[in-house]
Structure 1
Amino acid sequence: MLSWMRRLAVRYDVPVRDLLRGAGTRRRISSSRTIATRLRNQPGLVARLGLTAEQTKPFIKVQPLTAATTNYSATFGHSLPSQPQFRYCPYCLAEADPWWPDHWHSPLSWICPTHHIYLLNACPACGQPPHGQFAWIGHVIELHRCPSRRPTTPRAGHQRSHEWCNADLTTAPTTTAAPAGVAGQQLLHDWANDPPTAPVTVAGLDVTHRIAFQALVELIDAGTPGVDLLDLADDPAEMGPALADAAHVLSAADLSSAADRATMLTYDGPHAPVRPTSRLTNHRYSPLLAAIQLAGIRDHLPTADQMMFRTVHHAPRYPATHLHDPQQIRQLRLPEHNPRLPEPTPAWIPQTIWPLCVPEPLLGCTNHALRDSLLAMALVKIGNHEQWMKICQHLRLPATHPNRIGTYLRYAQARGTWPAIHTALDSLITRLQHHPPPIDYQQRRMTGRNINLLTEAVQVGRRQHPTDTGLRTLTRQFWERFTAGDIAYGPEALRLDPDTPSYADYRRLNPLRHADLFHSAHQYLLAIHMAEGPLIWTPEQSR
């Protein structure tokens, strides 16, 4: 668009500002973006300039690299430069029919893909960035000349004067880029030009062009600490090594090879951190770089981190946080993570894990109440960044459980059963993502704290199905079925110490003999809108 307007001005020897005024625009024009907006939204203005709307589409549409850069900055929370600066290639401007391509305005354009030289960001004569000032709109000048005014130093008693530079930009000295840097720049253009959701294989993973583009930019940023990639004032020649290194990482055949090459990624850095966990909840990160980073260290991570990052999968991932809204989750998850599936939530998980979800021989703990509650905690931890204490609060478990879960996980590691347990838990979470429970266990646990309500429901069922079993025992059994918990961790008024004979006697009772009574009690809670879903539910077993 800028090239076309300047050509039009040279052809008629009329400044761009006057051309637009003559075509009918009256409001003040303050930037190149304003010109594009006017032409896009005012077909009559385009017609008076002698073109059809179809002819102007190539000039006013957003170019792919610009669109990809804008999407990157929005996704990762960066700010784009507001100044209308351009970089340029002297060789391109020296051609018979020169023009200023839109990608020269992108801060991610450092190397000319045609002439393989570093782009320049300043005039060799005046030192000003081309089109850094909007004064060119009132000046008729050939496209290969600097459209800026020369900077001057005001003297006492004299009016400030700014002469036009008019320097020949084709005479600026150039620096040839290394082939590896050229390849990196070309990769940026290729991934920006293709549709954002189109598939591409990078480091052995099937990703989208959008994810690949953003990972490449993040790697370049990691390789240039202290440099703002989105600042057009930075010297493009400084980006050559980082471009080459980033392309080298993403050209690896698999995740392990890419992890070996990605030496610019640090475990506590700003691009693909592993520690501290607080970083993961306050920023957005590339899912491809996360997979590369975690693939190289998955076997050395603590068990809690293995669950959080879901390292049993070929491509590990970061846990979902409040930053992952439904629109962005598709950009922050790899296609193989199936981003359309809901993210796991503690509301899916009962206080004690469902029976037979993990093969019994792997577990090796005789205290079933403790073991099943610890497994429920581990299940919540899959893909979850929260600390153990917070998970205990979700499940209404004792404050001693954060210490006990660590002991149990070390015990499983010592027995050599931890990898199989981890795989079984992650497989269960995946099944729950495909078929979420029809019960909100979080809500059930809250309702279960109301002992009077549960007792009232049991009494309703007892009137319909008389029994000689005590009311307190029936309420305990109903609480366990309603919340899918263990009475050892129930409300204080119902709780039984698992180390006492009373708990052992209670466990010998068969709650199935009161199934009709509990069904009636559940129907009562449904009728007064204190419960939703079936009374009990178990996930399908894996095949």
Structure 2
Amino acid sequence: MNEQPAGADRRGRSGRAPHRARPLREIPGGFDITEWPISVPTFDGELAESWLSRVAARYQVTPSALLHLANGGPVTLSPANTAQVTTAIANLVRARKPPTLSNEQDDEIRRWAATYGRRTRKRQGASFCPRCLSDPTPYWRAEWSGALSLVCRRHRVLLVETCPTCGKRPFGTHSSWTQRISSMWMCPSRRDEDIRAHRTRRAWCETDLRTVLAPPASPTELDAMLLLHEALDAGAQAPRDVATAMHWTATSGERAHAYLELIDEQVPANRWPDTSARELVSAVGVAAQIITADSLEHVEALAARHGVLDPVGSHTPIWPKEHDIHPRNPLLMSLRLGSLSAHLSLSQQLMYRTASERPRAPVRVEHRAGGRRLTEGTWPARGWVPPVLWDGELADHVVAAGSYGPAALSLALSKVGSSVPLRAIAVDLGLPAWLADRVAAILGGRSRPDQERLARSLEQLFARLEANPPPVNYSKRVAVARDLAMVRAAAVEAAALQLVALDERGEAGATVALWVAYTGSHPRFCPLLVPGQSTPSLPPRVDRTDFLRIGFQLLPHGEREPLAWSPP
């Protein structure tokens, strides 16, 4: 190996020592040279493009050059990298915080779309208020880029959507506005010129946006837009706070989503970017009229006039469906069901609970069958109600004599909040299926006032059961008592413990008595008896109280379950 002279490993061919970068010396006074000297803070709620334009103008470079300097190479601004780029520049110019990338109202619209399965499309660029841009320190608001930002709440005028000279929406592209230093009130777009020199760029628009006239709007339209903005702000900031509509209470989130559902029913959300501001303002006005209506009759008239709250549509579907594609807004369902209450049958009034403080659609549960998603109705009062209603409850609503009236009351009470057919309820309670078809005729007649009065009484009794759920599951007892052999054996053993031997008729009477006490039904509905047969009675030698107590202990029941119960 050839030997090298000392120091040759530190020298190049020229024999000179290579240049070595010296570390920057510390500057006294704590000045940090990693930051840029001029601070450009952000305004509250400022649009990212607005702040980048102001920073570029302050340093007298184009926004494109600013992005290049801050990121060490060419950068094309896009929704995917805006947050990263603006944060890096904010750190360099010592801004208190990065600019606003999205406003609360757009966030609330996205939550609504995700909750109700609606499709949306973002609109590029921003509208503007000429009077706001005329301020001494003008800047573009982030809310101006919102999907439903149609009005300036400060000056109570409609926002201007496009520049009147070039016809473009400001900041509608991610690259053209970054190539020029411009003032906040100057249109940042290029003109679409048909005649220009070959291989030359289009001229800048440079329209003074402060001189543009805002579209006129009536006080009613402006008030409707302000109501929408207030609802969206409340839904975004405190979605669980209490809000009111007519005489019903709802949450702020439900109220905000009710506005959006009504607007979407008139103009689908995926068409909002292509729809004129005037048409959207009209849709907002209809939504505001419905939600702030002072009566259900007014709601019904507005729905019929504007074609909203469609009972068979996807926003407020009234009738239960086999497949529920979209969830339903509780506030809109209350408004629509309340407005349709006068046109619903007794069974439908009970199902939708129109006599309650908050009409609602019956809850449906989802299950899978063979790879398919199926929904089925629920029955809130199942197990709470005996086949024959308790003595003394709602007796003034019974027209038919005998057991059919209390049995019809039990069917009606079981129907409250349930989408299960009345015939299925009757079979579950051990009642004849034909009775389900005659509930309205048996209870209070067929007149509308009688049905509404009955619905209110049933709703009040249902509320009492909700507050104090019965300790007895009557549906389970009816299912158990279908085994008449088991009931008969318990009746015979209970009588034998009293040293009473039962003949055939006495055995039948004891079985019927125990079956009635156990199920809460009536002897007429006992399957042991043949229609038209007289009801056998319990033998006189049998102590009824002790017999029923012993027989109940011999039949299946809960640990602390009483034989009989009545609502408090």
How does the TM-score come out when normalised to structure 1?
0.72
Q: Give 1:356 shift.
A: 3.0
1:196 aligns with 2:239: yes
Residue 377 (structure 1) aligned to one of 411, 430, 447 = 411
1:364 aligns with 2:370: no
Q: Secondary structure at the match of 1:412?
A: coil
Q: Give 1:59 shift.
A: 2.8
In structure 2, C-alpha distance between the alignment counterparts of 1:439 and 1:192, rounded to whole Å: 46
Q: Give 1:303 shift.
A: 1.6
1:319 corresponds to: 362
Using a 3 Å threshold, how does the CA distance of structure 1 residues 206 and 349 change in structure 2: closer, same or farther?
closer
1:211 corresponds to: 254
Look up the equivalent residue of 1:11 and give its one-letter code: R
Using a 3 Å threshold, how does the CA distance of structure 1 residues 146 and 47 change in structure 2: closer, same or farther?
closer
Look up the equivalent residue of 1:399 and give its one-letter code: A
1:240 aligns with 2:273: no
In structure 1, C-alpha distance between the alignment counterparts of 2:496 and 2:84, rounded to whole Å: 74
Using a 3 Å threshold, how does the CA distance of structure 1 residues 366 and 242 change in structure 2: closer, same or farther?
same
Partners of 1:69 and 1:108 within 8 A in 2: no
Residue 308 (structure 1) aligned to one of 329, 339, 351 = 351
Look up the equivalent residue of 1:210 and give its one-letter code: G
Using a 3 Å threshold, how does the CA distance of structure 1 residues 232 and 498 change in structure 2: closer, same or farther?
same
Partners of 1:90 and 1:172 within 8 A in 2: yes
Residue 387 (structure 2) aligned to one of 352, 355, 361 = 352
2:105 corresponds to: 65
Partners of 2:262 and 2:309 within 8 A in 1: no
In structure 2, C-alpha distance between the alignment counterparts of 1:46 and 1:477, rounded to whole Å: 87
1:540 corresponds to: 567
Aligned residue pair count: 496
Identity of aligned residues (%): 22
In structure 2, C-alpha distance between the alignment counterparts of 1:439 and 1:372, rounded to whole Å: 18
Q: Give 1:434 shift.
A: 1.8
Q: Give 1:180 shift.
A: 0.7
In structure 2, C-alpha distance between the alignment counterparts of 1:48 and 1:192, rounded to whole Å: 32
Q: Give 1:128 shift.
A: 4.6
Partners of 1:180 and 1:243 within 8 A in 2: no
Look up the equivalent residue of 2:469 and give its one-letter code: P
Using a 3 Å threshold, how does the CA distance of structure 1 residues 87 and 443 change in structure 2: closer, same or farther?
farther
Using a 3 Å threshold, how does the CA distance of structure 1 residues 128 and 345 change in structure 2: closer, same or farther?
same
Using a 3 Å threshold, how does the CA distance of structure 1 residues 120 and 234 change in structure 2: closer, same or farther?
farther
Partners of 1:196 and 1:208 within 8 A in 2: yes
Q: Secondary structure at the match of 1:304?
A: helix
In structure 1, C-alpha distance between the alignment counterparts of 2:351 and 2:393, rounded to whole Å: 18
Residue 431 (structure 1) aligned to one of 464, 483, 494 = 464
Larger radius of gyration: 2
Partners of 1:64 and 1:193 within 8 A in 2: yes
Q: Secondary structure at the match of 2:425?
A: helix
Q: Secondary structure at the match of 1:231?
A: helix
1:8 aligns with 2:47: no
In structure 2, C-alpha distance between the alignment counterparts of 1:447 and 1:12, rounded to whole Å: 86
In structure 1, C-alpha distance between the alignment counterparts of 2:233 and 2:380, rounded to whole Å: 37
In structure 2, C-alpha distance between the alignment counterparts of 1:173 and 1:386, rounded to whole Å: 59
Partners of 1:63 and 1:102 within 8 A in 2: yes
Q: Give 1:459 shift.
A: 8.3
Q: Secondary structure at the match of 1:181?
A: helix
Mapping of residues 121-520 of structure 1, within 5 Å: 121-124=161-164, 127-135=167-175, 139=179, 141-142=181-182, 143-145=184-186, 167-168=206-207, 170=209, 174-194=214-234, 195-221=238-264, 225=266, 228=269, 231-257=272-298, 259=300, 263-264=305-306, 265=308, 268=311, 270=313, 276-278=319-321, 283-313=326-356, 316-322=359-365, 345-356=380-391, 358-368=393-403, 370-409=404-443, 412-413=445-446, 417-449=450-482, 468-469=501-502, 477-486=513-522, 489=525, 494-497=527-530, 499-501=532-534, 503=535, 505=537, 512-520=545-553
In structure 1, C-alpha distance between the alignment counterparts of 2:203 and 2:328, rounded to whole Å: 45
Mapping of residues 36-51 of structure 1, within 5 Å: 36=83, 45=88, 48-51=91-94
In structure 2, C-alpha distance between the alignment counterparts of 1:31 and 1:487, rounded to whole Å: 78
Using a 3 Å threshold, how does the CA distance of structure 1 residues 226 and 240 change in structure 2: closer, same or farther?
closer
Using a 3 Å threshold, how does the CA distance of structure 1 residues 111 and 449 change in structure 2: closer, same or farther?
same
Using a 3 Å threshold, how does the CA distance of structure 1 residues 6 and 179 change in structure 2: closer, same or farther?
same
In structure 1, C-alpha distance between the alignment counterparts of 2:272 and 2:560, rounded to whole Å: 55
Using a 3 Å threshold, how does the CA distance of structure 1 residues 377 and 280 change in structure 2: closer, same or farther?
farther
2:29 corresponds to: none
Q: Give 1:363 shift.
A: 0.8
Q: Secondary structure at the match of 2:433?
A: coil
In structure 1, C-alpha distance between the alignment counterparts of 2:460 and 2:259, rounded to whole Å: 31
Look up the equivalent residue of 1:499 and give its one-letter code: G
In structure 2, C-alpha distance between the alignment counterparts of 1:536 and 1:389, rounded to whole Å: 27
Cα deviations across residues 51-93 of structure 1 (Å, max 9, x unaligned)? Answer: 47xx327735x53322332343344332232454533334434
In structure 2, C-alpha distance between the alignment counterparts of 1:435 and 1:453, rounded to whole Å: 31
2:152 corresponds to: 112
Residue 141 (structure 2) aligned to one of 96, 101, 110 = 101
In structure 1, C-alpha distance between the alignment counterparts of 2:84 and 2:510, rounded to whole Å: 72
In structure 2, C-alpha distance between the alignment counterparts of 1:426 and 1:48, rounded to whole Å: 62
Partners of 2:171 and 2:189 within 8 A in 1: yes
Q: Give 1:401 shift.
A: 3.3
Look up the equivalent residue of 1:298 and give its one-letter code: S
Q: What is the RMSD computed on CA atoms of the aligned residues?
A: 4.6
Q: Give 1:425 shift.
A: 1.3
In structure 2, C-alpha distance between the alignment counterparts of 1:277 and 1:445, rounded to whole Å: 28
Higher relative contact order (CA 8 A, sep 6+): 1
Using a 3 Å threshold, how does the CA distance of structure 1 residues 12 and 465 change in structure 2: closer, same or farther?
farther
Partners of 1:260 and 1:296 within 8 A in 2: no
Q: Give 1:107 shift.
A: 1.9
Q: Secondary structure at the match of 1:73?
A: helix
Using a 3 Å threshold, how does the CA distance of structure 1 residues 116 and 403 change in structure 2: closer, same or farther?
same
Using a 3 Å threshold, how does the CA distance of structure 1 residues 18 and 244 change in structure 2: closer, same or farther?
same
In structure 2, C-alpha distance between the alignment counterparts of 1:436 and 1:75, rounded to whole Å: 32
Show structure 1 runs of 5+ residues with no match: 324-342
Q: Secondary structure at the match of 2:385?
A: coil
1:331 corresponds to: none
Using a 3 Å threshold, how does the CA distance of structure 1 residues 73 and 56 change in structure 2: closer, same or farther?
same
In structure 1, C-alpha distance between the alignment counterparts of 2:382 and 2:295, rounded to whole Å: 36
